[in-house]
Chains A and B, each alone.
Chain A
Amino acid sequence: MNLDQDSVRHIARLARLALQPDEMDSYTKELERVLDLFAQLNLADVNGLQPLAHPLDQVLTLREDRVGESDPDNALLTLAPEAQSGLYVVPKVIE
């Protein structure tokens, strides 16, 4: 299946991956082959079959809705590359 670089650029943008120009070439070629693999799904006869999202058609279990301690020591925040005053720091979003 043919895929142009604009489509790959669009997908990379959706996935928030800043691809280098040399990567664009190779990913475009490889994704064309991956799409050929995807196209093999058309060989299967799935008439009348419901999608199976989860093995064993599992039903999600519910737990009791009870308040617990999630991160008492702020351990999660200390994992952040940049944090300040209990908050995550990111580049300015609103000009």
Chain B
Amino acid sequence: MTAQSIAQTAQDLAAGKVRSRELLEAALDAAERNKVLNAFITLDADSAVQAADRLDAMRSSGSDGLLTGIPFAHKDIFCTKGLRTTCASKMLSSFVPPYDATVVERLKIAGALLIGKTNLDEFAMGSSNENSAFGAVRNPWNRNRVPGGSSGGSAAAVAAGIVPYATGTDTGGSIRQPAAFCGLTGIKPTYGRVSRHGMIAYASSLDCGGVLARSAEDCALVLQEMTGYDPRDSTSAQRPIDQYSDSLSVSVAGLRIGVVREYFGNGVDSAVATAVHEALNRLERLGARIVDISLPNSAHAIAAYYVIAPAEASSNLARYDGVRFGHRCTDPRSLDDLYSRSRAEGFGTEVKRRILAGTYALSAGYYDAYYLRAQRVRRLIADDFARAFGEVDLLAGPTTPTTAFRLGEKVDDALAMYAADVNTVATNLAGLPAISVPSGFVDGLPVGLQLIAPAFQESRLLNVGHQLQQTTDWHRQVAPQ
């Protein structure tokens, strides 16, 4: 069990105190010991061993970066050339991509040591990691609890100490919510900051790649390697990238943090609220100015999100037709039968539910009432944020209304599951960057503080997260073994 920072591990590697091969063996042992968590869909031990030896050789020749030779895992939504990429779906259970996602390519160039692909909710649709064709993931803090979703396997793998960081994607909270539930730091950057090329699509105007790690400092190092303009993603941002590590040590004195009133309503557990206020008190003691603020249209975010995301999903997932790749039914009687049965067999319950909801929202006669109206509500929500950022530098609140819920608790009630995303979906609708940082515990389960920044101010989020982590040790707590 290591809770060592990435920077420290990089130093140890550089000083020859440890080799990548040893780090890898420790990671694979930890993965084996924690098999019950079901955090991985695919472990790629053989390739990883070869890569570790190659990276050790590279390091001794002096050509390396901070991430070189340090083990990590990719959420199984990022395409990896030659390595099965399932998106936790029966539809893609034997899909081996012929190319690497841009994020995969970039981390490979940085020398990061991939050990495997983590479990998730099928096609990233879910908030508990129970919607996986490869089985549910368990929370390392309490194995009867969910790790959150959809990046639940990535969160469990980091929280269990298997890897120091893992990639994730966030369409409505899928990095921040599992980070909160598993006591991690998770950052969802601005929409367009991380390339979506090769990241299997769920809802294209919301999907965002990011990272889950133990600390803001670790997140800064990894995010630095992931970001940047990519001509293969037509929505990729063509803007300069901050040096995230440079701003970590900046003082938060005078920073105005708006505490979003609405994020403490809507069934937020009072103990969670208290824990989050404690973290805000710490920031106040560091000189930040904590002020009350309102995002008056927050209540409409869930409805807008659950129209827009399924609508985009129904369109994106039309590509799974049993013809070009993915699952195909046996003995199709006609082309139509081939499409309809391959899709019905390949997709799980929640994916079908969202395809149906999205198809309905886009169908003739309902488009204006649902899809177009949801997009106008989206504008309303984005305008709320713009107004708030006229008064404050950052926004804050609990990442989730409660700590991790029990496995099975919400699985039969899709709407209750959707409602739990109340504090995270609005930032995706507005495309803004947000981070979840550990903020204490309630009954032995981690709580997350969410901070939201104006577009492209990831460095500010990492800075404030880091400053908080200089005076608290919540992020250093490790899950019981």
Contact = CB atoms under 8 A, between A and B. Distances in A.
B379 A52 contact: yes
B334 A46 contact: no
B336 interface: yes
A52 B340 contact: no
B102 to A, nearest CB: 14
Nearest to B345: A18
B415 A37 contact: yes
Interface in B338-384: 338-341, 343-344, 347, 352-353, 355-357, 359-361, 363, 370, 372-380, 382-383
Contacts of B322: 81
B324 A11 contact: no
Contacts of A56: 190-192, 431, 455
Given A41-B307, A54-B205, A46 B373 contact: yes
A8 B356 contact: yes
Contacts of B415: 33-34, 37
Contact-residue size bin, chain A (C-beta under 8 Å from the other chain): 35 or more
Given A16-B336, A44-B377, A91-B335, A76 B414 contact: no
A75 B372 CA distance: 39
B323 interface: yes
A35 B382 contact: no
Contact-residue size bin, chain B (C-beta under 8 Å from the other chain): 35 or more
A27 B379 contact: no
A93 B340 CA distance: 15
A61 interface: yes
Contacts of A51: 372, 375-376, 378-379
Contacts of A55: 191-192, 205-206, 382, 428-432
* Most chain A CB inside 10 Å of its own CB: which residue of B302, B314, B322, B377: B377
Nearest to A3: B360
A50 B299 CA distance: 19
A91 B314 contact: no
A17 interface: yes
B347 A17 contact: yes
Contacts of A49: 376, 379-380, 383
Nearest to A36: B415
A17 B343 contact: yes
B337 A17 contact: no
A17 B236 CA distance: 33
Nearest to A88: B323
Interface in A18-60: 18-20, 23, 27, 30-31, 33-35, 37-38, 40-46, 49-56, 58, 60
7 contacts: A14-B359, A30-B353, A44-B297, A51-B379, A52-B382, A56-B190, A71-B98
Interface of B: 95-96, 98-99, 190-192, 205-206, 231, 234-236, 238, 297, 299-300, 302-304, 306-307, 314, 318, 321-328, 332-341, 343-344, 347, 352-353, 355-357, 359-361, 363, 370, 372-380, 382-383, 414-415, 418, 428-432, 455
Given A40-B303, A41-B377, 16 more contacts: A11-B356, A11-B363, A12-B356, A15-B356, A16-B339, A38-B306, A38-B307, A46-B373, A50-B379, A55-B205, A55-B432, A58-B192, A61-B231, A75-B98, A79-B98, A91-B338
7 closest pairs, A vs B, by CB? A55-B431, A51-B375, A75-B98, A81-B328, A46-B376, A18-B340, A79-B325
Interface of A: 8, 11-12, 14-20, 23, 27, 30-31, 33-35, 37-38, 40-46, 49-56, 58, 60-61, 63, 71, 73, 75-76, 78-82, 88, 90-91, 93
